[in-house]
Amino acid sequence: MAEHVPGAIDGKRRQLCKLLSLRGANASLILKALAVVGIDDLNRWDLRKALAASSTILTTRIDLPLVKGGSFSWVVARPQELLPYCYRECHGFRIIMDETLSRQPAALAKPWRLILYCDEITPGDPLRPDNKRKLSAFYISWLELGPFLRYEEAWLTIGILRPSIVKHIAGRFSGAVRCLLRSMFMCADSLHTSGALVGGALFFCRYHRMIMDEAAGKSVWMVKGASGIRSCISCKNVVKLGSADDPSLASFDADGYLVDISCCDESKFDEMVEGDLARAFDELSALRTVPGITKAMFGKAEKAYGIAFDPHCLLADVPMRTLVTDASYTRDPMHVMLSGGVANTELFLVLQAVQSCFPLFRYSTMKEFCNAAWTSPGTRKTLSEAFSDGREAASKKDEMFKGSASEILSVYPLVRRFLETLVPSDAIPKQKSSFFAMCAVLDSMQACKVAFDEGLPVAMRLEIRNFFRLHLEAYGRRHIRPKHHYMFHMLRQPTEDKIWLDCFVHERKHQLTKGLAEVVRNTSDFEKSVLLAVLNATVENLRTVSASMLVPPVAESNELTIALGMRCLVSHSMKWNFTTYSSGDVLMVGNGGLMIEACLEVGGNLLALARRLVFINQLSSTASTWRVAEQVVVEMHGVFRPAQHWHKNSAGDLVVLAAKESL
């Protein structure tokens, strides 16, 4: 049963909820700030009541059975109540939902498709993590929301669960996910069969997909994962890479059916189809009842199947298999390529190759190159730390470029340009070819995310194959990791769903959850306390969310109002079609380009005051020169592809780095 608090939220509680939604604002800080302005008649209980009145009505409790008996009462948000509440209370969210529902109603015959994401978050300083409050966050959204999925607000938090609790649950993390999905789709008011009332009509949805990193996917599906003999959950015949002391199983297969993760020939992969993993689980389950099977023998069978058997896991729930298929798991491109992934390895290797030819080269050399003249989009962070001495030492220790996913995206075009212009063509040719091929994959990933085209995943598959081959030619098999193989599987989701999804948005969403978890000190009911705080902040953010708007601060321009004959508002940045653009950004539009000078709103329409860019010449496949021309006012429509980096040369023209698809 859902927990209900009687009565409506009055004006004072509404204002307190706004304060409680601020990141890093704990109860003590809020009470002290209110006291400064003369409001000293409140206490912690008032804040708690305000939060409960706004958010507790959205929660319910799920009993998670424990291994040693009993159960853990897990407080979660039910989409059956959360979605209608957000629609009713949040004007901005309601506009987006109405526009989407008008194009594609969430009907019983064609329900919306729910996506589940879960990941682990550790509050506190990264150098001093607070493991007692480490948590896993569960987010959901719907594929039909399209570009809105790039916004953190599009993902609704439905659960918080600590690993210290998970280890005692029957089925562990997989068992918790099983119970969570049952509460949405295998209950009397299932979203799949009963729906929820949204905007005067019934809203139906079905489970569609999970997108998560390797660790979470391994925990949900209870497979051995990258560390197992069968390193890939998506293939029947791909095994781990061998060594001199521990040869790969593929080397003992005379028929050539088995291949290891260094194989770049897709035609040799025997990919799993829907139901294969469930059937393997059933075979393993049946093996347990065979007379004479010892624990050691069963352990070997688990290794052979690549499954960490647990009778309470998600795969064990036979009725759920018709709704939650084992083929719904998706490799996240961000984690495969950019978060301790393929690009991290490739960046490290090419920089090492440069240093082998030029002993005076250091990461500080790249730092000077990046910061000397290049300008980046307004939404990008500075690169001052990406090539610090500490990063260089850490990278060499782990044989992997140590940088965040966003840093990798900022760094790789500049490293490519450095290799094109300052490293002789006859130096490290194989290593450069491998790196350029990897960059082509990242270019296509970014292009697919900005404006999806069905031809891009097809082209990307060829680029992945080409990069894999060139990497083996340059470095052999020493640096091959399971993520190199996973590149082939990360294309399944965009190919099937016609939209590019990755976990960048979830990593940003984590900052909200992490910030609110850091101020919750009492761990006796930690899951509920953090969830209520996150729900409150989410609702506050959804009230004003918009697909297109000027980003505050906004001012009226008298000069432009007179020139245009209509009231003109001006801002440094704007959100248009769920993407942020800022003054100073260089955008590629068709065969031309623009440099934004200001963001405008005239008569309710968003415009850009910009300088038109005129093409001069092509310097390489991803670098070109442009002349800054006359000032123009541009209406926001069509596809704008942001340039990666740019700078002015001695002639005053712009040297622009942009992915091939942007030119």
Residue with tokens 């790039």: 150
Alpha-carbon span 378 to 166, nearest angstrom: 41
Residue 210 belongs to what H/E stretch? strand 205-212
Output the pLDDT for position 8: 40
pLDDT digits (tens, 9 = 90+) for 209-256: 999 988 899 999 999 988 888 889 899 999 998 876 778 888 888 888
Of 193, 259, 270, whose CA–CA distance to 234 is shortest? 270
Q: What is the pTM of this model?
A: 0.89
Contact (Cβ atoms closer than 8 angstroms) between residue 532 and residue 561: no
φ, ψ at 73 (rounded to 5°): -85, 105
Residue 461 is predicted with a pLDDT of 94
User: Which residues in the chain show pLDDT less than 50?
Assistant: 1-9, 662-663
Nearest C-alpha neighbor of 249 from the set 233, 228, 234, 266: 228
| pLDDT of the residue at 145 | 96
CA 37, CA 32: separation in Å to the nearest integer?
9
**Sequential DSSP letters for 364-428:** HHHHHHHHHS-B--TTSPP-TTTT-HHHHHHHHHHTS----HHHHHHHHHHHHHHHHHHS-TTSS
Q: Which residues pair with 618 in a beta bridge?
A: 624
